[in-house]
Structure 1
Amino acid sequence: MSLQNEQTPNIEAVILAGGMARRMGGDDKGLVTLNDQPMISHAINRIAPQVNQVVINANRNQQQYSQFGYPVLSDLESGYLGPLAGMITAMKHTKADLLLVVPCDCPLLPKDLSSRMLHTLVTTNAEIVVASDGKREQPVVMLIKPSLYQSMQAFLDAGERKIDIWYSQHHYQVTDFSDQPDAFVNVNTPEQKQQLAQKIAQ
């Protein structure tokens, strides 16, 4: 997304790679190879052209993640508290108007993700926009106002972890990507990785 006029908000993307990846046998999911590229490379290739800046949220292998050429942020809070902790870290760090949140394990993210979600946010005056594949909302694919970090921090401090419960407390809207049904297919197991590799190869 190019900045063609002053009305276009500055959007930063955070790619969440901070999880434990228990179902991948503990392998760092963003660095798992898919069709000769680390998984996070697929996410970067999809998202970087759509935003003004990219940051990576990672809690291990930071040196390897830094080699992709983007700032690497570790959770401000220790203990692998899940995606919310990574989002809060990015929200506190960013100077952008809006933060686009995506996971590192969705290699087929829409190439028009940012523009369509921004359109939803602007036309509905929402605080948060969540992506949907047409069947279900994708809680870790969101466009959010960084000023909401205090609300998210309070939610996390209360012991809550479910993102959809948090955003349902705010004015949120959904952008439907059912025209791209595979956009949010993610990789949690070696079997899913194999299936996705075949899909990408086709």
Structure 2
Amino acid sequence: MQTPMGVILAGGQATRMGGGDKGLLRLGDTTLLSRVVARLSPQVGDMALNANGDPARFSDYGLPVLPDSIDGFPGPLAGVLAGLDWAAEQGAETIVTVAADTPFFPTDLVTHLCKMADGMAHPLVLAATPRGTEKTKSMSRSGLIRHPTFGLWPVALRDDLRAALGDGISKVVIWTEKHGGREAVFPTDAGDPFFNVNTPEDLATAEAMI
């Protein structure tokens, strides 16, 4: 498998932070987004940022800014689709997505996702952690907690995803399970590697973590 492209998902509305761009919040001596860029860049080929609104606010990062192609903020799958369309234009086969508000995700994220995709005709793998981590996002049948904004996605299924979004499907795992998606499990011995900043209290916790 060729090295995936990287897409940072920052298209949410950040309602629990009072709106605005969570990725531009300061964390230590830099921004959340800068920490995510630095963590992802060694793991992927080219990178892009999925965000809506005026792209000029991200000009300092030097990344292509990809707006959702589906109106109404339908969720992270719209950002995945924007990333897949961009990657298709670059001739790429896959993308790996990460969230712009999750600064401590694994440094071996891409390696582990790709390893779990071995043998799949269409590599489709979500990150997961064992049950018991603090923030339950999406529980799988096997009792794992899935982190649906962290995944490996095949460009070959972008039109299928577009059709699914057009039919009103917005929940990530509904679509991934339809295509036999797998889970790559990451350890939580040192804490939840997918801890994300949703509230001012979370930001204070992240400050303590660094």
Find the aligned partners of 2:116 and 2:209 in 1 and give their Cα distance. 29
Find the aligned partners of 1:105 and 1:114 in 2 and give their Cα distance. 18
- 3-state DSSP of counterpart to 1:193: helix
Structure-2-length-normalised TM-score: 0.86
Deviation for aligned residue 1:36: 2.4
Find the aligned partners of 1:173 and 1:181 in 2 and give their Cα distance. 23
Q: Which residue, out of 161, 170, 182, partners 1:173?
A: 182
- 3-state DSSP of counterpart to 1:122: coil
List aligned pairs for 1:103-142, cutoff 5 A. Answer: 103-123=99-119, 127-135=123-131, 136-142=145-151
Preserved contact between residue 130 and residue 139 of structure 1 (Cα < 8 Å)? yes
Partner of 2:14: 21
Preserved contact between residue 126 and residue 181 of structure 2 (Cα < 8 Å)? yes
Find the aligned partners of 1:176 and 1:123 in 2 and give their Cα distance. 18
Percent of residue pairs identical: 34
- 3-state DSSP of counterpart to 1:168: helix
The 1:91–1:191 alpha-carbon spacing in structure 2 relative to 1, beyond 3 Å, is: same
- Give the letter for the 1:102 counterpart: V
Q: Which residue, out of 37, 44, 48, partners 1:51?
A: 44
Deviation for aligned residue 1:122: 1.6
Instruction: Report the number of matched residues.
Output: 193
Partner of 1:187: 197
Find the aligned partners of 2:112 and 2:209 in 1 and give their Cα distance. 24
Find the aligned partners of 2:55 and 2:97 in 1 and give their Cα distance. 19
- Give the letter for the 1:139 counterpart: P
Structure 1 unaligned residues grouped into runs of 5+: 1-7
Preserved contact between residue 127 and residue 170 of structure 1 (Cα < 8 Å)? no
The 1:113–1:96 alpha-carbon spacing in structure 2 relative to 1, beyond 3 Å, is: same
RMSD value over aligned CA atoms?
1.5
- Give the letter for the 2:148 counterpart: P
Find the aligned partners of 1:199 and 1:146 in 2 and give their Cα distance. 35
Structure-1-length-normalised TM-score: 0.90
Preserved contact between residue 93 and residue 156 of structure 2 (Cα < 8 Å)? no
Preserved contact between residue 40 and residue 105 of structure 1 (Cα < 8 Å)? yes
List aligned pairs for 1:91-110, cutoff 5 A. Answer: 91-94=84-87, 95-110=91-106
Structure 2 unaligned residues grouped into runs of 5+: 132-144
Residue 165 of structure 2 corresponds to residue 156 of structure 1:
yes
